[in-house]
Structure 1
Amino acid sequence: MGKLKQCWSSVLVLSMVVIGTGAVPITYLQSAVAKGAVCLDGSAPAYHFDKGFGSGVNNWIVHMEGGGWCTDVASCIKRKGTMKGSSKFMNKDFGFSGILGGKQNTNPDFYNWNRIKVRYCDGSSFTGNVEAVNPANKLFFRGARVWRAVIDDLMAKGMKNAQNAILSGCSAGALAAILHCDTFRAILPRTARVKCVSDAGYFIHGKDISGGSYIQSYYSKVVALHGSAKSLPISCTSKMKPELCFFPQYVVPSMRTPLFVINAAFDSWQIKNVLAPTGVDKRKEWANCKLDLKKCSAAQLRTVQGFRDQMMRALSPIHSTPSRGLFLDSCHAHCQGGSAASWSGAKGPQVANTKISKAVGNWFYGRSAFQKIDCPSPICNPTCPAISTDE
């Protein structure tokens, strides 16, 4: 009966692909469990793998899923009962689009690559590494092991022969792409062209509406709980507190691998959680504004504009190196490379009359550099879509 069910599932997945849904079946990495590389609940890590073909057979893009973080036992226990903390709850197939899209007309530079979506189930941007497991809560903080186990598995499946490779991600996964970028480069063949792409992962060490830095205290809790310090780039942790090395602005200066940053200057997640977090906005004066900038008062808009100024300063390490790329639009959005519409669509965001897909493709292949910053206000770019939250 089990074999029949498995066979029927395979037929369903095959049918979905044939009719053009682009659904890619899940792969559970059971072999990782013995190495202690597991999700928060102890279940096996998982990913979706669409094999490359033609000229892309030796090219690889590993894209890490986003989904925030958990900062204490209570929030991690809640998380482990969802797909963000357990592979038991993950959807069995995933539709690839945007930077992972398999159609040449919407993703011309990467459509026929080996394309992998790494599912996110550790709550630490793939940085946790705590050996002990408290029997009272049975939480496993093993994100760094999960990342390495997936990469090792992909190497065995052909990535060891990569000619071109990208480590990318969205949101918390995009932060992971930055944190693991140089390690990814070191694992792959010396002869390979290897670069990293961060989509909405450039979280800044910004000041909130009270003048403090709520986000620093938040990341401090993540790092302490998950034992992330030993997994963060030593080039950063040797100079400053580990929680500060969760901020790309302190990691990027010493990165050796080329990085492309896709970000919104008025990033919708950061406006809500870095600038005006609920824990700081106790009177809820920002409740409407941070969800819709059209509902901001004149004073609030000035503060929002000040957040953009903070973002600009934090991005200075990108400008300092020509090999790095930047697509900074003035949209109120978060994660813009995960759908065909925003990645390359006719109505997708543009900066300097260029769509995200073209900017990244030209940069990766060295056809042209791209470090472009959009006009300065949240209403100045007519190509900005409604708020995007791919993950």
Structure 2
Amino acid sequence: MKKNIQTMVDYWLKLFICLIISMSTNISAHDYNNISITILDSAVAEAKGAVCLDGSPPAYYHAKGFGDGANNWFLYLEGGGWCISDEDCAVRLTDRSGSSKYKPKSVYFGQNKSQNQTENPDFYNWNRVYVGYCDCSSYMGDVELKTNVTRRGARVFNAIMDDLLAKGMSNAENAILSGGSAGGLGAMLHCDGFSELLPNAKRVKCISDSGFFIHAKHLPGADKRAEYYANVSAYHGIRVDSLPSSCTSRMDETLCLLPENIIRDIKTPLFIVETAFDQYQLALNYFSNESTWWNCTNNIEVCTPSQLQTIKDYGVALRQTLQEISDTTSVGIFVHPCFRHGHFYEKSGWEGSFILGDKTIAQAVGDWFFDRASFQVIDYDNELPRFRNCSKFIASSYI
């Protein structure tokens, strides 16, 4: 009973945090940002067998590009955490994280896919696609066996890509595969494969928003983190050949789900948007076993001395991990010190609040994508996260 209760508590906490980036689907907004759902019924057929956890067909939302953006594509993979057992996944069969039946009929496209030229000058008239998450494997699972929980994330991804290619993406001149949280991890893992789908495009690049989950093997819970991703891999049947061989040849294949171990193996240019103090990772990714941790990540004033030290240590580990890859010029990096998980869906996250190197996230990503300027900025001023005054944060010290 205690285990079941804890499973439910963990699930709801994870879902609450991981869906922060898509909470604005219920926000009243301009009509051009409310996009109707596309249910991909054809993907259910045996030839593809691409279905959500509950067996329902996958879904996405597509707003067509126009003008000089008609042949440009900006895809976003929704996040929502992972599940690692039938029991763990069962609670997702009756909500949007495991079934298209519960997806909203339309979604609000966040700032990174806004059709407002002022808010989103570089990408406002592109084809904008929001891919609904319903497999809980970062779009990587591939289990043939059908049970009450169907694990087919990789097939879901492939089926949606096939449909978009047929609808014009095959003619893309410029394309971005992005995602948030578990979707951000999915964007990294599928980055090179996505690029291979578009051999004639001028530019193909990828963006991960709050998807850089770290092993931090010298910090508390490292073994549990490694075990957790091993369980994700085993339960969802993630195939070895879907991971970079240059990674799987030098370490346990399950560790190749961790971005720090594959980042140098990704050939396609990648931009990483992170906070040095990610709420999800600190609260629910085994950096602390204390029951009061959730309160701490919501109000730093109630944190214990040991929790504050854990936060500091995590911030150092995350920044050091990203610092180590900063010599890879094709990688863009934007790391600020505010407590957060997800950036693209709020105006304050995409083009308003955070300024590093005199640029917002939108400006940094745009300059990087169009090769106007490289961008690798990590804030080092703050050893603890900023809760207040983050709406106008400006870094004064960075790499």
Q: What interval of TM-score do these two structures reach, taking the shorter chain for normalisation? A: 0.7 to 0.9
1:222 alignment counterpart: 232
- In the other structure, the counterpart of 2:396 is none
Backbone CA RMSD of aligned residues: 2.2
Cα distance in 1 for residues equivalent to 2:359 and 2:31? 28
Alignment-derived partner of residue 262 in structure 1:
273
Superposed CA deviations along residues 313-342 of structure 1, whole A, max 9, x for unmatched, are 321453021111000001110011222231
Aligned residue for 2:239, secondary structure, equals: helix
Q: Which residue of 2 aligns with 1:37?
A: 50
C-alpha separation in 2, matches of 1:46 and 1:380 = 37
- Are 2:192 and 1:179 aligned? no
Q: Please list the CA deviations of residues 170-216 of structure 1 after superposition, one character each: whole Å capped at 9, or x if unmatched.
A: 00000000000000111102342000000000000025864543221
Match of 1:356 in 2: 361
Q: Does structure 2 conserve the Cα–Cα contact (< 8 Å) formed by 1:169 and 1:198?
A: yes
Pick from 364, 371, 390: which aligns with 1:366?
371
Q: Per-residue displacement from partner, 1:302-321 (whole Å, max 9, x unpaired)?
A: 22111111112321453021
Report sequence identity in percent: 44
Match of residue 345, structure 2, among 334, 338, 343: 338
Q: Verify: 1:319 aligned to 2:326, yes or no.
A: yes
CA contact (8 A) 1:206 1:275 kept: no
Q: Is the 8 A contact 2:348 2:391 kept in 1?
A: no
Distance in 2 (CA, whole Å) between partners of 1:189 and 1:212 is 39
SS of corresponding position for 1:349: coil
| Residue from 151, 157, 161 that aligns with 2:167 | 157
- Alignment counterpart, residue 383 of structure 2, candidates 357, 377, 384: 377
Q: 1:320 to 1:383 in 2, by over 3 A?
A: farther
- Normalising by structure 1, report the TM-score: 0.87
Q: Is this contact kept in 2: 1:162–1:189, CA < 8 A?
A: no
Q: Is the 8 A contact 1:127 1:142 kept in 2?
A: yes
Number of positions where the alignment pairs a residue of Structure 1 with one of Structure 2: 362
Deviation at 1:21, TM superposition (A): 6.1
Contact 1:206 1:310 in 2 (8 A): yes
| Match among 66, 73, 76 for residue 53 of structure 1 | 66
Q: Which runs of 5+ in 2 are unaligned?
A: 1-26, 393-399
Of 197, 216, 233, which aligns to 2:207?
A: 197
1:307 is the counterpart of 2:314: yes
Tell me, yes or no, if the aligned pair for 1:40 and 1:121 is still in contact at 8 Å.
yes
What's 2:152 paired with?
A: 142
Give the deviation of 1:286 after TM superposition: 2.8
* Residues 133-182 of structure 1 deviation map (CA, whole Å, 9 limit, x = unaligned): 13xxx211100000011111101100111110000000000000000000
CA gap 1:220/1:361 in 2 versus in 1, 3 angstroms: same
Q: Secondary structure in 1 aligned to 2:177?
A: strand
Report the alpha carbon displacement of residue 66 of structure 1 after superposing the two structures with TM: 0.4
Compared with structure 1, are the counterparts of its residues 101 and 177 closer, same or farther at alpha carbon in structure 2 (3 Å cutoff)?
A: same
- Alpha-carbon separation, structure 2, partners of 1:292 and 1:130: 41
Does the alignment pair 1:272 with 2:283? yes
Task: Give distance in 1, aligned partners of 2:315 and 2:286.
Answer: 10
1:296 aligns with 2:307: no
Cα distance, 1:100 vs structure 2: 1.3
Instruction: Provide the rounded CA distance (Å) in 1 between the counterparts of 2:29 and 2:391.
Output: 31
Pairs within 5 Å for 1:7-26: 20=31, 22-26=33-37
Q: Deviations over 1:4-51 (max 9, x none)?
A: xxxxxxxxxxxx999636210000111111110110111100000000
The reply to whether residue 286 of structure 1 matches residue 293 of structure 2 is yes
* Cα pair 1:103 1:111 within 8 Å, conserved: yes
* Whole-Å separation in 2 of the counterparts to 1:222 and 1:380: 32
Equivalent AA in structure 2 for residue 204 of structure 1: I
Q: Is the 8 A contact 1:86 1:121 kept in 2?
A: yes
> CA contact under 8 A between 2:277 and 2:385: conserved in structure 1?
no
Q: 1:208·1:275 contact (CA, 8 Å) conserved in 2?
A: no
Question: Which range moved further: 57-66 or 72-81?
Answer: 72-81
Amino acid at match of 1:227: G
Residue identity opposite 1:359 in structure 2:
A
TM-score normalised over the length of structure 2:
0.86
Could you say what secondary structure the match of 2:185 adopts?
Answer: helix
